[in-house]
Structure 1
C-alpha cells in the first residue's frame, strides 16, 4: 500500500513527538521542507501529475500541523465532523471528492499536533452533555466522524493518530467515534474500543468496485472482516456508497446483499445498520479522471441521467435527475428490505 520515498515536511511538525515518530518510520525517505501542507507546487495543482496519480499516492507523504479546529454539524453519517488528523489517501477511488480541492494528486497528509486535536474533540464532546433525543446518527450517543477527508484504516499505517482517537472515545460516556473505510487493517482488532467506535465498511457490487475502487481491499475481504471487528468490540455498519446507476445495477446490488447476508453472523445482524448514498460527481474531477482512468468515466459521467447542481463553494456537481433519482432510491431500499430485512437503513439519498 505504501512505499514512502519522499516526505514533505512542515518544520513545526518535526518539533512535535508525533512528527518525529512518523519521520522515524521511513528513515531512508528524502525529506523536503515546505511552508504549508496546502501548497506544494510539485504535488498539488500540477496537471502533469495526473500521469503519476497512483505512484504519488504510494510514494509521497505530507506531514504538517493542523491549524484550524472546528467540529462541524453534520446530521447524516455523524452529528459532528471532527477536525481531521489527516487528509488525502493512498487509495485511488475514481469518485473521490478530495482531488477537487487539492489539485492533481492527493497523497496522505498527516497532522502531527494530535494532542491539540484530541483536546479540542474531548472538550467539544464534554460540552454537549447527554444527547437529548435519538436521531438517525445514533439513538443514544453523539457521533463524531473522525475520517471525513481520509481513510482511517490506511492512516493507521502512517501514525498512531487514529488509535489515539479510538482510545479517547473509549472513555466517553456520551459520544462515539465513526469512520468509513474501504481497507481492511487487522491491526485495529487489537485496539479494544469497548463499543465506542463505529466502523462503516463501504460496499458496492464487485463489478463497480473493480472499475472504481482502485487500490482498496476487495469487497469480499471487507465483508469477511465484519464479524471479526464486531467481536473485537467495534460497532460495525455498512456504507452502500456510491450507488452507480447502470445496466443491471439493481440485480448486482441484490447479489451483494446476498453475499453480505451469508457472510455475517446473527450477532452482527443485531447491531448492523446501513447508509445509502447515490453518486454525486464533479465536472473538474471528470476532467482529471480522463487523464488517468477514462474507463471509469463511462460509468460515472452520464449526462443523459444526470443534472448539474452548483455546490456552495461554486463547483459544478452532477447527480441523478430529480424524480428519477427518487425511483432509484426506492428501488434499492425496497430491495434491502426484502433481501436483508434486519438491515436498518439510517438514511438514503
Structure 2
C-alpha cells in the first residue's frame, strides 16, 4: 500500500513551460535596445533544483548514471529512491504542492507511450520527449490542465534507447518530410513539446547528445527545440551538421516581463540566437503567445526591431518564425488560476471565440477579425523588418 501522496514518476505529470526577465536579485529588468548586439556578458541563468531523486529503473541506464554524476558534480545531492514512485510532493494546499513539485527533478525512465512517437503538427513530423516539465513559471502555460498530477520535472534516463528508436520514423512524417513547402527540412523531430531544453541541459546533457546524434545521422532529418533561456555555451562549436534548428521563444516587453517567470531576459535570448546563428545553426523565433494588448502594434514592433538588430550581419542566416496566438481551455484556465491566483492575464471567455478541437475539446481563441488583423500585421511587418525570416505557420 502506497502513501496517499505517492506519484508514479513514470507516468505523465502536469508541466508548465518556461520564462521572465529578472536580474540576479529578482528585480525586473527593462528591455533594452539591441543595436550592435553581442553575446550576453552576464552568466547564463541556471536552475538549481531543491530536490533531485532517481528511480531504481533510471539507474540501470548509462545516461541515468551520467545525469547523476553531472548533478552531483554541481554540488547537488541525489536521493536514490527505493521504488519507481515519488512521495513528499503534495502539500497542504494546491499552491504548496505546486511549489514543491516545481522545485523537484526526478531522473526516471520514459513511459512506454513516450517511445511511440506522435505527429506534432504544425511544428514537426514527430514529437520526441527527452524530459517533461520545466522550472519556469509562465502564467499562460499552454500545457496547464492537459496533463495530470503535480508539475514535477522528469528527465529521461533511457536517452540512448530513445535516440536509437528514431530511425524507424525517418521519411514517414506528413508535416515536413512529405510537404513540398517544407521538404528542405527533411523528417523533423520536435524535442521540446513538454519541456525547455536549456532549462535542464546543464543538469542532463541530453540535448547536446541529441545534437551530436543528428549530426552523425546521414539522412535528411532535423532536430528541433525551442527555449526561453540563453545558456547556449555548450552548443557553440559543437558539430551539428546543420541538422538542429534551435528556436527562441520571445514576446513583447509587457508580456515577457509580466507573465514569464524564471527565465532569461528577451535580449539575452536574442543574443543567444545570434551566437548559434553565427555558429551555423538554423535558428528560429517562436513568437508566442501573441496577445492582443491595447498597444500591441507598438509593442510587437519593438520586439521585431530587436530581432532585426540581433540577426544583423549574420552570414547565410537561416531564420524561421512560428506565430502562435494566445488561447486557453476551461481546464487550463482553472489550473492556471490555482497556480497564479493573482494573475493579470486576460482569460475572458465572453471576449473570445469558442472553438472545438480534436475529440471535441473546447478552446477559446481571439475572434476572427482580431486574428485576421494580427496575422496581416505580423506577416507584413516581419517581411519589412526581418526579410530573411521565413514564416512556417500561424495559429
- Asked if structure 2 preserves the Cα contact closer than 8 Å seen for 1:282 and 1:318, the reply is yes
Moved more, 186-195 or 169-178: 186-195
User: What aligned pairs does 1:200-349 form with structure 2 within 5 A after superposition?
Assistant: 200-267=247-314, 270-296=317-343, 298-312=344-358, 315-349=361-395
Residues 145, 201 of structure 1: alpha-carbon distance in 2 compared, 3 angstrom cutoff: same
Residue of structure 2 in register with 1:64 after alignment: 108
Range with greater deviation from structure 2 (235-244 or 15-24): 15-24
TM-score, normalised to structure 1, is 0.87
| Aligned pairs, number | 340
String of CA shifts for 1:293-334, please: whole Å, max 9, x gaps.
2443x3331334313334436654321123432232223222
Match of 1:12 in 2: 57
Moved over 6 A (4+): none
- Judge conservation of contact 2:58–2:158 (CA < 8 Å) in 1: yes
Q: Deviations over 1:125-155 (max 9, x none)?
A: 2777x9566334x525221111211111122
Alpha-carbon deviations, 1:160-219, whole Å to 9, x = none?
221121111102331010011111112222422121100011111011001111111100
In 1, distance between residues paired with 2:108 and 2:330?
A: 29
> 1:145 is matched with which residue?
190
Higher relative contact order (CA 8 A, sep 6+): 2
- What residue is the counterpart of 2:227 in the other structure? 181
TM-score by length of 2: 0.78
1:256 and 1:346 map into 2 onto residues whose CA distance is: 19
SS of the equivalent of 1:156 reads helix
Cα 1:300–1:191 change in 2 (3 A) is farther
- What is the DSSP-based 3-state SS (H/G/I as helix, E as strand, rest coil) of the residue aligned with 2:58? helix
- 1:166 equivalent to 2:215? Answer no
- Aligned twin of 2:127: 81
Q: Which moved more, 1:17-26 or 1:175-184?
A: 17-26
After TM superposition, the structure 1 stretch with the greater mean CA deviation from structure 2, 163-172 or 200-209, is 163-172
The structure 2 residue matched to 1:96, chosen from 124, 141, 145, is 141
Shift of 1:62: 1.3
Moved more, 259-268 or 111-120: 259-268
Greater helix share, structure number: 1
Residues 54, 106 of structure 2: 8 Å contact kept: yes
C-alpha change, 1:34 and 1:312, in structure 2 (3 Å) is farther
